[in-house]
Amino acid sequence: MAPQATATAAAAAAVRHHRPHLLLRLGGGLLPSLPFASRGAAATPARLRVPPARFSISPVPKSLSAAVTSSHVPVRSLFTGIVEEVGRVRLLGPPLAPSGGGGGGYGEAPGLDLVVETKSLLAGTQLGDSVAVDGTCLTVAAIDTAASTLTFGVAPETLRRTSLGERAAGDSVNLERALTPSSRMGGHFVQGHVDGTGEIAAFRPDGDSLWVTVRAPPEILKLLVPKGFVAVDGTSLTVVSVDDEGGWFDFMLVRYTQDNIVLPTKKVGDKVNLEADILGKYVEKLLAGRVEAMAKADS
């Protein structure tokens, strides 16, 4: 059989078996002669020319390339709940250098300065960066490389909402820097906006794992579901059980997590910062608005 006839037969077979990708002749940009035939009509050979593909790839602008590869790409107020380091509180007290207007004075409830000793977070951290301290998003106000410390300003509302006001020199705290575009999402989206505090109710060993039960207020418990996320002192954890009537939830810590966060060193009765998954907050608000709208429509 002649080469052209062979190509035509192969093309016809490809069409019959619904395999049009076999029609392309690599590198030539041509389709072989193909008998397109209607039922009951004679085949009409046709040669189709496929224009060669033309691709245009624009180079990445130098400014964008530099931004992506930069060692410092500030992305603030979003964390994963995977603790980077356990730091140590060096000082919690009145600001040494008051800022703001009004002659440098404060109101009746001044904020505090929190100075934390860290080993690994100094590299790449700059003034104004966000760091989660026990799950609380704080802004770096001062960096002392000689003393290996970061200083944060803690506002009165933060002191009311979290357990940071109970920290003292020598206490350990969980530390995590904000996400960057190259960070792995090993936990879940944690904002560092603490919803409130809970209280450790019980520890129970289970092999080399550790069960932890936490009492929490109703406004936080209603946002928790079994197998859902919760941030406890900034650690991303999976909820196991929720008891709304009893006012508690629990979770399990594997050995590695126990060795790299502060929680196992705390005692029953100690406070912990709690942040519910943001998805639950949005759903709760949307449903509440829907129920309210339906109630108004029925009235």
pLDDT for 248-293, tens place per residue? Answer: 999 999 999 999 999 999 999 999 999 999 888 888 888 888 888 8
Does residue 30 or residue 164 have the better pLDDT? 164
What pTM value is reported for the model?
0.68
In a domain, 270, yes or no: yes
Tell me: do 87 and 135 sit in the same domain: yes
Q: How far apart are CA 15 and CA 29, in angstroms?
A: 18
pLDDT at 73 over 50: no
Residue 232 three-state SS: strand
Contacts by residues 222-229 (CB-CB < 8 Å, ≥ 24 positions apart): 222/284, 223/195, 223/276, 223/277, 223/280, 223/281, 223/284, 224/249, 224/276, 224/280, 225/280, 228/277, 228/280, 229/81, 229/187, 229/188, 229/277
Residues 174 and 206 both lie in one domain: no
Q: Domain range spanning residue 116?
A: 78-96+111-186
Give me the number of domains the chain comprises: 2
Task: Copy the structure tokens of residue 75.
Answer: 């992305």
Domain termination residue (choose one: 186, 212, 230): 186
Domain boundary among 151, 167, 186: 186
What are the residues facing 137 on neighbouring strands? 132
Q: How confident is the model at residue 187 (pLDDT cuts 50, 70, 90)?
A: confident
Active site residues: 79, 130, 137, 139, 155, 193, 238
**Residue 154 pLDDT exceeds 90:** yes
The whole-angstrom separation of Cα 147 and Cα 90 is 10
Burial 105-140 (b: 16+ CB within 10 A, else e): eeeeeebbbbbbbbeebeeebeeebbbbbbbbbbbb
Both 175 and 238 in one domain: the answer is: no
The CATH number of the domain where 265 resides is what? 2.40.30.20
Positive or negative torsion for Cα 71, 73, 76, 78: negative
16 confidence band (pLDDT: 50, 70, 90): very low
Residue 49 within a domain: no
Check whether residue 154 and residue 214 sit in a common domain: no
| Mean of the per-residue pLDDT values of the chain | 78
**36 and 27 Cβ atoms separated by less than 8 Å:** no
The dihedrals phi and psi of 40, each to the nearest 5 degrees, come to 80, 5
Give the pLDDT band of residue 89 (cuts 50, 70, 90): very high
Q: Are residues 122 and 159 in the same domain?
A: yes
Structure tokens at 84: 């980077």
Domain boundary among 152, 186, 220: 186
